[in-house]
Structure 1
């Protein structure tokens, strides 16, 4: 990231942009930085000015307690203002929940596209999310960053063997370094259920996407988002999982953002 803007509370937010045209801001999900969505910026920048940023508390961006979801919405407001005053948003996973919250807050957002925003649909899943929130809060309060990362990885469905392998990976230290931001994504998800009232207040057109190789509940959550917003469309991408291929996703986003 080669530039900083200062958010309303004084937090520096690192970002970079590429391309020309109408603005598209890419919003990453949990355990990720702007580098995670940067591969998508390359194909999109052929038609748009694409802004990639590190969400607060991760990468090259700063942080300033106490955290509130509203601060992350203000970060997006500052980015949009610096980019010309209007933008479309794309959010992946919990970044989709942040993009939807930003649009519902009244920011000048033209379109919102989200990929596999993991809202829980069943009572059992909601109870699991509540247990995760409790244990995550405890682990972070006690400084057990590695345990916090493990909790998140279990929530995503990874096996104990895969998690143990991750602990031995050179990438583990980087994961621990941004573990406190897991609490931010948990707050953005707002308890985990579909926020029907909030989604009903999103004025922009919304495209909710899922991969057909992902678990069925991901596709059901994508449909629930499209049904809850006033101007929603749902789309399924053949052969795609939660780790969607940028070259498959980019044409779908480009078509939506140019409507």
Structure 2
């Protein structure tokens, strides 16, 4: 792992691997750079890959106050720090961070977004979930915070959560559970910002899974109506975590877009 400082002085960590043109990976909620492990071997065979730990998780630091603009700056700072032009790939909440970063750097060559959650909060779960998550975080009940998020936003059953508790990654997920409520607040408003992404000029690949909720297709359509140079790819038979469940398919579509003429 290597580190750099974001614009506000927060130390951020990333894993660098491979050789070739620069590819920056930005993970989603309650994850870290290891969420890319299934696709990393294929990607690092072609690129120098920089897999970020977003602020508040992994080996990255955090700040007392949170704003999505700081995450935009984090991703843009990493893009600016590595050789360009850079391919930037964001998953879920990390795709929102990547969109914002694309407005803050001129070092991008291409942008790839997998299911950014740019829809009203009620599309994802009960509208009162976020205040309850905030209350749990304030009381330091992070395991309950994670369990509530997984069930009410992630669609997990109680049995699913119990199985996850036995996994070695559970403690890592709990350690970053304080970030879930603050990111939920951002999701509640971020869909209103879609028009501003009309200023992004680099070729952009929009991806979503065939079996993902229908609003994922609508989000992609909304972005298609705004982004100047875009292409849509639907991964057949896949859901929100296609990079883990179908890594070969995921990589194939990513490379086809990167290798295509601008």
- Shorter chain as normaliser: what TM range? 0.7 to 0.9
Shift of 1:232: 2.1
| Aligned match of 2:128 | 131
- TM-score in terms of structure 1 length: 0.88
| Aligned match of 2:179 | 181
Which of 44-53 and 26-35 deviates more? 44-53
| Aligned match of 2:240 | 242
Unaligned 5+ segments in structure 2 are none
Deviations 1:108-146 (A, max 9, x none): 32211111223326x8527x4642332222221222212
Matched position secondary structure for 1:191: helix
Matched position secondary structure for 1:100: helix
CA distance in 1, matches of 2:236, 2:139: 43
CA distance in 2, matches of 1:124, 1:50: 35
Deviations 1:84-103 (A, max 9, x none): 25412111111111111111
CA distance in 1, matches of 2:122, 2:57: 31
Say whether the 8 Å CA contact 1:204–1:231 is kept in structure 2. yes
| Aligned match of 1:206 | 204
CA-atom RMSD, angstroms? Answer: 2.3
| Aligned match of 2:147 | 150
Matched position secondary structure for 2:189: coil
CA distance in 2, matches of 1:34, 1:170: 16
Measured at CA, do residues 65 and 159 of structure 1 come closer, stay the same or move farther in structure 2, by a change above 3 Å? same
| Aligned match of 1:15 | 14
* 1:254 paired to 2:251: no
Matched position secondary structure for 1:247: helix
Unaligned 5+ segments in structure 1 are none
Say whether the 8 Å CA contact 1:206–1:231 is kept in structure 2. yes
| Aligned match of 1:43 | 42
- TM-score in terms of structure 2 length: 0.87
- The alignment covers a number of residue pairs equal to 256
Matched position secondary structure for 2:78: helix
| Aligned match of 2:66 | 67
CA distance in 1, matches of 2:19, 2:185: 34
Which of 144-153 and 163-172 deviates more? 163-172
